[in-house]
Structures are given as structure tokens and as C-alpha cells.
Amino acid sequence: MGTSADISGNQSRNQEEQGLAFEMVTFQSDQPLRLDSGEDLYPVVQAYNTYGSLNAAKSNAVLVCHALTLDQHAANVHPATGKEGWWQGMIGPGRPIDTDRFFVICPNVVGGCQGTTGPESLNPETGKPYGLNFPVITIADMVRAQVQLIDHLGIEKLFCVAGGSMGGMQTLEWASTYPDRVFSAIPIATAARHSAQNIAFHEVGRQAVQADPEWHDGAYYEHGTRPRKGLAVARMAAHITYMSEGSLFQKFDRNLQDGDEFTYGFGPDFQIESYLRHQGSTFVDRFDANSYLYITRAMDYFDLAAGHGDSLANAFKGTETRFCVVSFTSDWHYPTTYNKQIVHALNAVAANVSFVEIESDKGHDAFLLDEPEMFSTLRGFIDSAAERRGLA
């Protein structure tokens, strides 16, 4: 059990007029959250958005899990940026995750910075922001917090858990650890363990943040500063991994930002340089640097087979969950080979699994973009699962 508060305000009403009703809500469990590190985190507040209505049987709930730099604003205008939700094309009336049929829940992960307890939250023992006193978290910890939320909502079994990238990791964790509570699962552009290459990119980002003189060993809140330059560089490096060589060529090639001559300086001569700088500068306005450190570390630690005798198949042994695994041809961040490892493990235990590799030149970010084949594939999978669940 716990307490919750509706903080929806006018924005919810405005979007309801546009056809998509949603609520922005917070929930605080009255139980501590036991972490993989052995520590207990309390209190834990979770910020989450909901779309659609929960049916009387509470059998139509879809949990949407967000990726590293995203948040709970999956299908509504973001209150801080004014931009459309990151899965606006997937969630809504008549869309693959149809809010006329399903009750969609999207929580901000523990360790985040959009209302859920994280490094910038007040430590009850000191009255100051946690900073680096916040305990290190894992993907499993994020999911345990979500279990508390789902319990609070009185939902025994989720119709579906879905997400891409880090959201896909949470989806796999749900399906492996709580198989009796997940009817169907959609892990997209993800992996069952973080690769050395991806750990390396994360470490570059963390080092950029920590090298910023305004970081102050994570206590920048007390200094009234932010490690903006370091976090911007981290974002720039990471953003390159979200795209493909083909998409970079199509968008930018070697086009110059202004005019047709070099400046013979170190400003943004090329359009791609200007683009990356823009990505970095806008990111620091909506994301906490310490949260970036904690969440990237959680992803680095993720290895679903590790707790199952180093056998990924054992992680899904006996599962009755229906799976649809999706990858993209140009995704070198979480390539098809990583996703096929999940499919092979599911096949090894005779799980009900579908797999599709979608032809796309948009790289890892394809799961967030307008990909008609992805939409039609997931619509078909969800409709079939709903029929089996008696929700058709």
C-alpha cells in the first residue's frame, strides 16, 4: 500500500480535449525498497503518468518502461520542454497501444530526475540532496519499485510490459523475475546484458561529467551550480550511438553550417557539430547529471543470465509469457545479434516468441520514430495477445 497524489493540473485537461486523457501522479510506498546492493531505500516516491482507463477486472494494464534519457511523459506534451511524448506514435486512441482499450502506466525510474526519488532528492537523514550518497541502483531495483507501484494499483497481472533500449531491459527483468505477472512482453532494440563497447561509451560520459569543475564530487546542488559542460559532452557522445552512419550521412554529410568555406577555427563549422552541440545544450536543461551517472551504471550492471547460472535460457525457464522481440538493421548500439540472443534463449525453453528485424536506416533511435513496419507488427501482436486474454 502507499499514498498517491494527483498532480495533473491544466495540462492533463488540455490534452484530454485533444483526445488523449492522462494523469500525472506520484506514489510513495510505505515499505522500504530493498536494493541489490543490500541497502534499503526509504522513502521512495515514484512519479508516473497514466493514459486510458483500467477496466473492472484490472486486466488491461500495459506498463511502458522508458529508456535512459527519457521519462514518464511517453504520450503527452512534456511539461518542461513542450515537446510531444517520446512514444506519441505508439500510445493513444487507435494506435498500437490503444488507450481506448488499454490502461497505460509509464513510471519514471528510481534514480531518475522527473519526480521519482534519485540523487537530487532530499536525503531524510541530512535534509540535503543525496548526491553521491544515493545508493547505487540496478535494473532489477527499478523493476522492484515498479512492482510496488503495480501492487498499489491493485493489478495482479499486467497485460503487457513494453519498452525499448533500457526500457527493454526492464521488460526482460519483469518477464524473467515476475513471469506470472506478465501476460505479454515487448522488448525492443535491447540486450540481455550490457556489452563492453556500451560500457565503454557510458564510462566516457561519466568521466566527462566528473571532469567538469562544477560537478563538485556530486555535491553541486549545494554550490548552486550544474556540470553543464560535462553532461553536454556526455550527451553528445551518447547521441552518436543512437544514430547510424546512413542517417548521419543523409541528414548532414559534410555540409557546412554557414556558407561554403571553413572558418579555420574550432567553432561548429559542420552541421553535424552544430547538431551535437544543440543536443548537448538542450539535454542539460531537463536531466540531472548525477542521475545520468547512476542510470548508466545500472545499465552497465545488467546481465540477466548472471543470476541463473550464466544461462540466459534459465532466466526464462517455464515462462508462459508471450514475447515479441524487435530489432533494427542499422542499430549498432543494440544490434540484431543481441536481440537474437534473447530469441534463442526463449526458443530453448519453448517459449511463445515472435521476432522481427525491421529494415531501417535510423539506427537505435528507430524505436522512437515513425516506423510503419514496427507499428503494424506490434499492433498485430498486441491484438492477438488481447484476443487470447479476452480483451478483444
| Contact present, 49 and 72 (Cβ < 8 Å) | yes
- What letter does residue 6 receive in the DSSP assignment? E
In whole numbers, what is the pLDDT of the chain averaged over residues?
93
3-state SS class at 312: coil
**pLDDT for position 289:** 98
Model confidence pLDDT, tens digit, residues 155-189: 999 999 999 999 999 999 999 999 999 999 999 99
Q: Which pLDDT value is given to residue 71?
A: 97
In the set 247, 331, 360, 365, the catalytic residue is 331
Q: What is the mean pLDDT of residues 14-39?
A: 82
The model's confidence at residue 22, banded by pLDDT at 50, 70 and 90, is: confident
364 carries an active-site annotation? yes
| DSSP strands (E only) in 269-318 | none
Q: Which pLDDT does position 259 carry in this prediction? A: 79
pTM: 0.94
CB atoms within 10 A of CB 68: 20
What is the pLDDT, as a whole number, of residue 17? 33
| pLDDT-derived band at 80, boundaries 50, 70, 90 | confident
Q: What is the mean pLDDT of residues 279-298?
A: 96
Residue 201 has pLDDT above 70, yes or no: yes
Burial of 182 (0-12, 13-18, 19+ CB in 10 A): buried
pLDDT at 299: 98
Give 29's DSSP letter: E
Number of Cα atoms under 13 Å in the Cβ half of residue 208: 20
Annotated active-site residue 253? The verdict is: no
| Residue-wise pLDDT tens digits, 87-122 | 999 999 999 999 999 999 999 999 999 999 999 999
What residue ranges define each of the domains in the chain, with the CATH number in brackets?
2-193+305-389 (3.40.50.1820), 198-297 (1.10.1740.110)
Q: Where are the beta strands (DSSP E) in the chain?
A: 2-6, 22-29, 33-34, 40-41, 45-51, 61-65, 91-92, 97-98, 103-107, 158-164, 182-188, 322-328, 352-358
Taking a C-beta distance cutoff of 8 angstroms, is the pair 15, 22 a contact?
A: yes
Q: Is the pLDDT of residue 46 over 60?
A: yes
Q: What is the pLDDT of residues 352-371, one digit of tens each?
A: 999 999 999 999 999 999 99
Q: What number of other Cβ atoms are within 10 A of residue 143's Cβ?
A: 24
Torsion 367-372-377-383 (CA) sign: positive
Q: Of 279 and 392, which is predicted with more confidence? A: 279
The cell for 391 is 480483451
- 77, with CB counted inside 10 A (0-12, 13-18, 19+), is middle
The answer, yes or no, to whether residue 43 has pLDDT greater than 90, is yes
Average pLDDT over residues 125-131: 96
Name the active-site residue from 12, 330, 364, 365: 364
Tell me which residue of 91, 75, 58, 21 sits closest to 159, measured CA to CA. Answer: 58
12 pLDDT more than 50: no
Give the model's pLDDT for residue 254. Answer: 93
* Structure confidence at residue 320 (pLDDT): 97
In sequence order, what are the residues at sequence separation of 6 or more whose Cβ sits closer than 8 angstroms to the Cβ of residue 180?
157
CA distance 166 to 179: 19
Q: What is the pLDDT of residue 192?
A: 98
With a cut of 90, say whether residue 293 has pLDDT above it: yes
Over range 67-94, report the average pLDDT. 95
165 an active-site residue?
A: yes
Q: Cα dihedral sign for 347, 352, 358, 364?
A: negative
Confidence of residue 14 (pLDDT cuts 50, 70, 90): very low
Q: How high is the pLDDT of residue 3?
A: 38
* pLDDT of the residue at 164: 98
Per-residue pLDDT tens digits for 314-339: 999 999 999 999 999 999 999 999 99
Residue 260: CB atoms within 10 Å: 6
Task: State mean pLDDT over 134-153.
Answer: 98
Checking 70-74 for CB contacts under 8 A at 24+ apart, the result is 70/167, 71/108, 71/112, 71/114, 72/24, 72/47, 72/48, 72/106, 72/107, 72/108, 72/114, 72/115, 73/49, 73/106, 73/114, 74/49, 74/104, 74/106
Packing angle between helix 166-177 and helix 289-301, nearest 10 degrees? 50
Would you state the pLDDT for residue 9? 33
In eight-state DSSP terms, residue 368 is G
Residue with cell 520542454: 81
Q: Pairing mode, if any, of strands 182-188 and 158-164?
A: parallel
Closest CA to 221 of 124, 127, 135: 127
Q: Which pLDDT score is estimated for 307? A: 87
Q: What percent of the chain shows pLDDT beyond 70? A: 95
Query: How far apart, in whole angstroms, are the C-alpha atoms of residue 124 and residue 51?
Result: 32
Q: H or E segment at 198? A: helix 196-211
| Burial (Cβ within 10 Å: 0-12, 13-18, ≥19) of residue 210 | middle
pLDDT band of residue 291 (cuts 50, 70, 90) is very high
Catalytic residue among 165, 244, 327, 360: 165
Dump pLDDT digits (tens) for 223-270: 999 999 999 999 999 999 999 999 999 999 999 998 788 989 999 989
